[in-house]
Amino acid sequence: MPSTQSRAPELPTQRPGTGAPPAPARSPGSTGAVGVPAPRPAPERHAPATSPTPASPVSPAGRPRRVRVVAVTALVGLAVAGTAGWTVQQQAERARLDEAAARVAAQADAQLARTRVDAVLAASRPATSGTRTDVAAYTAEHAAEVDRLTAAADEAADTLWHARHAGDAADELRTAIRHARAVARSERASLASLRDARAGLVGPADAATAAEKAWRTAEARRLAAERAEAERAARERAQQDTQQDRRQDTGTTPPSATPTIPQGGLVCTGTGGPGASEASTSSLGAAINAYRASLGLARLAVVRSGSLVGHALDMGTAGGIWHSGRDNIVGCAGSADPSYLVQAWSHSSSHDAQMRRTDVSTMDVGAALQSGWLFGAVLFR
């Protein structure tokens, strides 16, 4: 009778380096042997008497590699996911730090701006107890100082215009005005610089005014001296003319017996013949001085000239005008009013130039009337 103990079935084994393929798994219920080469004999093993254990199926040869690939892929995915998460977290942290740095910089800028304003205020106005001028008040005061400086510069410019003879003082005032206008236009000018520029106009303006006043005083004295000298000379000439007239019977140079208009003379139509008489030399001289005054020119001394009176009588008798050699201008007008004769002379450039002369101080005058016409002869000296 066979023994009741069953012998454990022998399982094919895999030994490294044999190169033999593993035995295929036996299907359940299969009783036949698989037709493969028999493996190397292994030492006989005796298992305890137990019920037979079915052989575990063996995995195919390619499965472990796929498992390893899947595992590596999973690890790479986890690493990528972890890296992406860390990168996002790092970017968020950096953004938070940048925002914090921006806030700190903004606060620093604001503090710096307040510090600059406080410095400007402290430099421009003394601090009062417990009081601090705000920016709006400073801006208003700055604008007011600019207006005051501009007005002061305009006033100084008016002073400069009236001080045209102030010399160096006028140049200094002109420089101060340019500086003041430059400060008024500057956006960076402080209250102190605006006030200093306005104060800098006072001294030069006073100096220019004083210099102009001194020049005017000296000029008035000079003109007075010249006028006095001209009057003295006129009196001397008048005395000489008077003495000469006294030596003559008529007091004037008598007209020629039959005066005629020489070549180059001009005819005064409707005049001529006997009856010419002396006219007022002072009236003719006053008319010339009135014309000079209308042009802003100085008054000339008027002296009656006996020789020029005689020449005026000759011209009236002859009915024309010509130069005697002792005069600058001669003329005739159809009215006894001397202003008409002066007006006629003003319409001639050469005669007008003589009446406008500024290098003379006296005029010798002779005048005569004939047939309602005024004849005149004048020498400027």
- The CA distances from residue 293 to 287, 288, 289, 299, 302, in Å, are 10, 9, 6, 7, 14
Residue 92 lies in a domain: no
Instruction: With respect to residue 50, please indicate whether it lies within any of the assigned structural domains.
Output: no
Higher pLDDT, 60 or 68: 68
- Phi and psi torsions of 365, nearest 5°: -125, 140
Are residues 347 and 290 part of one domain? yes
Do 261 and 350 reside in the same domain of the chain? yes
At 267 the pLDDT is 92
Q: Give 278-313 pLDDT, tens digit per residue.
A: 999 999 999 999 999 999 999 999 999 999 999 999
Judgement on whether residues 266 and 187 belong to the same structural domain of the protein = no
Domain harbouring 312, CATH code: 3.40.33
Q: Which class for 29: exposed (0-12), middle (13-18), buried (19 or more C-beta within 10 A)?
A: exposed
Neighbours of 150 (CB within 10 A): 16
Of the ranges 9-23, 126-140, 187-201, 204-218, which one carries the lowest mean pLDDT score?
A: 9-23
The backbone region for 29, taken as left when phi is positive above 0, alpha when psi lies in -120 to 50, beta otherwise, is: left
**Per mean pLDDT, which of 103-112, 217-226, 320-329 is the most reliable?**
320-329
Q: Are residues 286 and 214 in the same domain?
A: no
Residue pair 212/164 in contact by the 8 Å Cβ criterion: yes
Q: pLDDT confidence of 73, banded at 50, 70, 90? A: low
Would 259 be classed as within a structural domain? yes
Predicted confidence (pLDDT) per residue in 17-60, tens digit: 444 445 444 444 444 444 444 455 544 554 444 444 444 444 44
The mean pLDDT value for 9-21 works out to 47
Contact criterion met (CB below 8 Å) for 33 and 46: no
Q: For residues 361 and 273, state if they share a domain.
A: yes
The pTM score is 0.37
| CB hemisphere CA count around 109 (13 angstroms) | 6
**254 and 168 inside one domain:** no
pLDDT tens figures, 225-278: 888 888 888 877 777 666 555 444 444 555 556 788 898 899 998 888 888 899
77 in a structural domain: no
From CA 198, how far away is CA 149, in angstroms rounded? 5
**Mean predicted confidence (pLDDT) in 358-372:** 94
The three-state secondary structure class of 260 is coil
pLDDT digits (tens, 9 = 90+) for 198-231: 999 999 999 999 999 999 999 898 888 888 888 8
Cα distance between residue 76 and residue 246, in whole Å? 148
Q: What is the DSSP letter of 128?
A: B
Rounded to the nearest 10 degrees, the angle between the axes of helix 168-185 and helix 202-246 is 150
Q: Which of 168, 196, 218 is the last residue of a domain?
A: 218
Write out the two tokens for 81: 């996911």
Q: Where are the alpha helices (DSSP H) in the chain?
A: 63-124, 135-162, 168-185, 191-199, 202-246, 281-294, 306-318, 338-346, 349-355
d(CA 333, CA 311) in angstroms, rounded, equals 16
Quick one: 223 exposed, middle or buried, by C-beta within 10 A (0-12, 13-18, 19+)?
A: exposed
Pair 166, 212: CB distance under 8 Å: yes
Tell me what pLDDT residue 248 has: 44
Residue 302: inside a domain = yes
Note the pLDDT of residue 173: 93
- 267 and 185 co-located in one domain: no
* Confidence at 5, pLDDT banded by 50, 70, 90: very low
Does residue 212 sit in the same domain as residue 313?
no
Comparing CA positions, the residue from 271, 312, 299, 308 lying closest to residue 357 is 299
Which of the listed ranges 49-58, 98-107, 137-146, 281-290 does the model predict with the highest average pLDDT? 281-290
Are 373 and 300 members of one domain?
yes
Domain membership of residue 271 (yes or no) is: yes
Section 351-374 average pLDDT: 95
The mean pLDDT value of the chain amounts to 77
Residue 260 domain-assigned? yes
Cα pseudo-dihedral 113, 118, 123, 126, rounded to 10: 170
Residue 160's domain comprises 135-218
Band of residue 153 on the pLDDT scale cut at 50, 70, 90: very high
Question: How many angstroms separate the CA atoms of 276 and 321, rounded?
Answer: 14
Cα 72 from Cα 121, distance rounded (Å): 73
Is the domain of 187 the same as that of 266? no
Top pLDDT among 185 and 85 is at 185
* Together in a domain, 318 and 253: yes
- Provide the number of structural domains found in the chain: 2
Looking at the domain assignment, is residue 120 inside a domain? no
